[in-house]
Chains A and B, each alone.
Chain A
Amino acid sequence: MHVLSTVTLLVEKLRSVLGDRFQGQSTRNERRAYIKIRKDGIRDCVKVLFDQFEARLSTISAVDRKFKFDVLYHFTLDQQGLVASICLSTPKQAASLDSVTDILPAASWIEREIQELFGIKFIGHPSPGKLLTSDDWPENEYPLRRTG
């Protein structure tokens, strides 16, 4: 299927599943789509991508934006050579997101990593223990979180 028609199809599907949790999309070039959703829509969104579009989770990027975090779930649709990045935001205070690891095991490590490095809690992660930092690393210290 052509890349652009896949994007159209994906956007239509997500719009109908997510309702007002769908917040818009932009296409940077023919191989990169950025889809903005409200943070409570991520689990439904992952189900659609994995089950209906055979998407593969490449990784998740968190970006510190001073008062909030932007979080981008980069899904690769290999057959179309397309990366669909699902973008959402969470406020910095008590930052949290729903874990998608139970739906998609590929998310396990990267969710734990973001939890450790940025302090975004992933609610419902089946094994949320430390992945990267040492055992004596102080609590509430997040290496990639910007302070001030």
Chain B
Amino acid sequence: MSIEATLPIGPYHPALKEPEFFKLFLDGEKVVDVAIRLGYTHRGIEYLAQRKTYNEIPFLVERICGICSNVHPMCFCQAVEEVWGLQVPDRAKYIRTIVGELERIHSHLLWAGVAAHIIGYDTLFMHFWRHREPVCELFEVLTGNRQNYAMNCIGGVRRDIDPTKHKTLILETLSQIKPSLLRLEKAVTEDPVVRARIENIGVLSKDQARKLGVVGPVARASGLAIDVRKDEPYAAYKEVGVDVKVHTEGDVLSRMLVRLLEALESIEIVKRALDAIPEGPIRFEPKEIVPGDGIGKVEAPRGEDIHYVRSNGTDIPERVKIRAPSYMNVPSIVPQIKGASLADASLIIAAVDPCFCCTERIALVDVKTSRKSSVDFESLAQRWKNGSKHS
């Protein structure tokens, strides 16, 4: 098999508008191999965290990701609470759960919209994002911000949820979007044209998933029933329970279904949490800084997030190690994309819901002639739509 051309996608991913470099090796329209390079937005957050006080770090790590911005501070706080042996009030645990699940809903809907856009179904994209919008507006009321909620602090949360006003608003919003989500799920599963585009595409076997250590919806779509919320219940998940959604086909359709079912399950979790939330304080003040090791784990929308903190007894941590879920999921693109058609490459890359950063550009290289050219995503998409060759 000869490699006819290489197609570098990136450093700016065309669909997700974030920098990461995928160099596709092609034989005609078939992808033979892929090389991945990252680090284009490495911001040195671990380095910074080792130079800031414990109270400042939740705000720093909140900036790791704009989509799952509740996850990282919650994870960091849990790690520190473990080192210091700090208890968190029950009410704060429920609030963390509610905010975490609302975040999962908006994140999964955002992804589903992007996936619809990539397969060229912009009507579906608009619908997904239309129903994501009320969740972002809800966040503005609950936390003061659509993203970067700044809800977590070591020992609890910073804002309370009003038992009448906020509760009613949350329930109203959720009851509004639930029937729409059920309808959209049908639009995906019952439309043969959509199915044809995402079924049996980007398959990741259970064995590959286990060896690569993938997490979250990518793992669960490949038959691995792992979910931190269930396996190591944090916040109030032990009390409110989680129904873990698992599919076994390992393709893009499975990942779509797992995420949509999870968004629906999140609605139920929020309702259960609102019903059972106890009264009481929302934060316990830390009393002393204890030296030692701590690990925080949270099920982010994209999978297991893990923070390791080593405290030396001062107000600045000795080490903060952060591993976001995409770090495990992005390498799984390699086995998924080998043998795929070039037209599916963008979808396969996007289907692991990789989390990087923003803008757009693609470079094309024809190995035979060594001719290089740069195009933007829209022109490339146009080429695909017109069915013309990439050379």
B-binding residues in A (CB < 8 A) = 28-29, 31-32, 34, 56-59, 61-64, 72, 74, 76, 78-79, 81-83, 85, 104-106, 108-110, 130-134, 143-144
Tell me if A31 and B310 are in contact (CB < 8 A). Answer: no
Contact indicator B295/A144 (Cβ below 8 Å) = no
A143 contacts which of B44, B212, B318 (Cβ < 8 Å)? B44
Q: Is the CB of A106 within 8 A of B213?
A: yes
B313 to chain A, nearest CB (A): 15
Residues of chain B in range 278-304 having any CB-CB distance to chain A below 8 Å: 292-295, 297, 304
Residues of B within 8 A of A64 (CB): 319
Number of residue pairs A-B, CB distance < 8 angstroms: 82
* Bound-state Cα–Cα, A64 to B46, Å: 13
With A59-B321, A106-B212, A131-B38 known, 16 other A-B pairs at CB within 8 A are: A31-B232, A32-B293, A34-B293, A58-B213, A59-B306, A74-B295, A78-B226, A79-B231, A105-B211, A105-B212, A105-B331, A106-B211, A109-B327, A133-B42, A143-B47, A144-B47
Instruction: Assess whether B213 is in contact with A132, with CB atoms less than 8 Å apart.
Output: no
- Given the interface contacts A58-B306, A74-B308, does A32 sit within 8 Å of B213 by beta carbon? no
Contact between chains at A57 and B213 (CB < 8 Å)? yes
Chain B residues closer than 8 Å to A110, beta-carbon distance: 323, 327
- Contacting pair A134 B39 (CB below 8 A): yes
- Known A28-B292, A132-B39: A104·B321 in contact at CB below 8 Å: no
CB contacts (< 8 Å) of A83 on chain B: these are 232, 295, 297
Give the most central of A79, A106, A131, A143: most B CB within 10 Å: A106
B319 and A61 contacting across the interface, CB-CB below 8 Å: yes
Whether a CB of chain A sits under 8 angstroms from the CB of B328 is yes
Residues of B within 8 A of A (CB): 37-39, 42, 44, 46-47, 82, 210-213, 226, 231-233, 292-295, 297, 304, 306, 308, 310, 318-319, 321, 323, 327-328, 331
- State the Cβ distance, A33 to closest chain B Cβ, in Å: 11
The answer to whether residues A63 and B318 also contact, given A83-B297, A106-B212, A131-B37 and a CB cut-off of 8 A, is yes
30 pairs of residues in contact across A and B, judged by CB atoms under 8 Å: A28-B82, A32-B82, A32-B295, A56-B213, A58-B304, A59-B306, A59-B308, A59-B321, A61-B321, A62-B321, A63-B310, A63-B319, A64-B319, A72-B308, A74-B308, A76-B231, A76-B304, A81-B232, A81-B233, A105-B211, A105-B212, A106-B211, A106-B213, A106-B328, A108-B331, A110-B327, A130-B37, A130-B39, A131-B37, A132-B38
| A residues in contact with B308, CB < 8 Å | 59, 61, 72, 74
Q: B323–A58 contact, CB under 8 A?
A: yes
Most-contacted residue by chain B among A57, A61, A74, A134 (CB, 10 A): A61
CA of A1 to CA of B211 in the docked complex: distance in angstroms?
A: 23
Q: Which residues of B contact A34 (CB under 8 A)?
A: 293
Which residue on chain B has the smallest CB distance to residue A117?
Answer: B46
Q: Of A29, A56, A85, which contacts B226 at CB under 8 A?
A: A56
Please name all residues of chain A whose beta carbon is closer than 8 Å to the beta carbon of B232 when the two chains form the complex.
Answer: 31, 81-83
Q: Which partner residue on chain B sits nearest A81 by CB separation? A: B232
